[in-house]
Amino acid sequence: MEQTNSSKKHTRILSWITLACFAAGSAVGLLFPQLFSYIGFIGTIYVNLLKLMALPIVLCTVFGAASRGMRSASGTLVKAILLFVILFTVSFLLSGALYSVLTPGKDFTLSSGEVWSGSTADLSWESFLQTIFSPNIFASLGSGAMLPAILFAFFMGAVAEKVGAHRVTALVGELETIFSRMLSYILWLTPLGVFVLMGKCTADFGLHALGGALSYVLYAWGGCILIMLLVMILPLWIFCRIDPVTYFRRTGRALLTALSTCSSAATLPETLRTCREEFKVPERIVGVTAPLGCTIHMCGGAVSFCLLAMFTMQMTGRPVTIGTFLLMLLFAEALNMAAPGIPGGGIVLGATFLSLLGMQEIGLFLGMYAGIYRLLDMAYTTLNVAGDVTAVLLIHRWEGKKQK
């Protein structure tokens, strides 16, 4: 018990130090932006280390969850996918209602600037399925493709249970223990990593550099805050009796990591730790839901796609009918699920989304969008991570009630 209390104390201290470094990095980046041209690489190394540990931990975690109980793991998988779709849809509908009332793009005019010249992605279910069912799992692992790795680990764990490969299961469990201990050492670098990442961000995007794009950034952050409160926190308060103060206190480190790294994959180890240690969710739920959510569950994407479509359509004077809005939701859901198979990140996804809606002529707006995307991605990624934690806790509550 003493060791557990000591570990909890260290976790709390690290969380407070991280929060202080988050604020300090933001301030120093504004006051001494030139500093981060020299030390900015430290933040990149920190993110790379987190991503380095994310994939092996995910493989071991998903394998372990499947091998310890194929039937329960499969049921959790189905529930997770269903809940992901529901949370994404609700987030998109609420965002649409918000931006219909506020009409952020109605009076917006573009000034001359850089025109985005990138290409859109080829969105087809054939290419998506071919990507996730990789012919070479080692190539997928080498490229950091998370979804093929999750499916492979789940299938391998299920078969290991079926054939009674207990030594393999034990070996993977020991590897997970080793990887988790390695990660615990890396996480002590979190305050430094957050300090440098936030300093670099504020150095690159000083308040004077936002210009006319500031309104778009504010609308994006406002939408994410609304969804955070109504879709992530309110259901937990009602169904799980987790009040907002407790929620933010326990998820604070994960949310700060997401905010500074802009990477759900880099934040995944912290997400797993939060669900296991802070909320005491069983491994059979965490091991399946959190890694899958990191890959295909992106409520931040719901806000992103909705704002992008509503803003550009209002800006160009195009009407948003019910049919158009439902089409936006359908395309957004498809892109959200297919995102693991599409290279290029959020900017390419945004361009692809607009082209699907027949709006290929706004290269100037996408130039501005690409320039401020880091600021947008901070909000979207943080909401994505919050959504993953919420999904884990809701499924825990769901399965807990069934067992009673």
Q: Residues 358-403: pLDDT tens digits?
A: 886 666 677 778 878 888 999 999 999 999 999 999 999 988 755 4
Question: pLDDT tens digit string along 172-226?
Answer: 999 989 998 998 899 889 999 999 999 998 888 766 555 557 889 999 999 999 9
DSSP structural state of residue 341: G
| b/e sequence 341-370, b meaning 16+ C-beta within 10 Å | bbeeebbbbbbbbbbbbebeebeebbbbbb
Token output for 137: 């799992």
Instruction: Look up the pTM and report it.
Output: 0.85
Residues 51, 263 contacting (CB under 8 angstroms) = yes
d(CA 147, CA 125): 15
d(CA 122, CA 341): 10
Token output for 126: 């054939």
**pLDDT mean over 293-305:** 90
d(CA 164, CA 158): 10
d(CA 386, CA 228): 7
Q: Give the pLDDT of residue 299.
A: 93
Q: Give the pLDDT of residue 344.
A: 46
For residue 292, pLDDT beyond 50: yes
Token output for 250: 């326990």
DSSP codes joined into one string, 292-309: HHHHH--HHHHHHHHHHH
d(CA 300, CA 305): 9
CATH match for 2-403 among 3.40.50.970, 1.10.540.10, 1.10.3860.10, 3.40.50.720: 1.10.3860.10
Question: pLDDT tens digit string along 111-160?
Answer: 656 666 666 666 666 666 777 777 887 877 777 677 788 888 888 998 99
User: Can you give the residue ranges of every domain in the chain?
Assistant: 2-403
Q: Give the pLDDT of residue 12.
A: 76
C-alpha 70, offset from chain centre: 26
In angstroms and rounded to an integer, the radius of gyration of the C-alpha atoms of the chain is 21
d(CA 178, CA 194): 25
Q: Give the pLDDT of residue 2.
A: 38
Question: For residue 295, which of 277, 326, 271, 328 has the smallest C-alpha distance?
Answer: 271
Residues 183, 269 contacting (CB under 8 angstroms) = yes
Residues 255, 386 contacting (CB under 8 angstroms) = yes
Question: For residue 366, which of 384, 383, 353 has the smallest C-alpha distance?
Answer: 353
Token output for 221: 């952050």
State the burial class of residue 306 (Cβ atoms within 10 Å of its Cβ: 0-12, 13-18, 19+).
buried
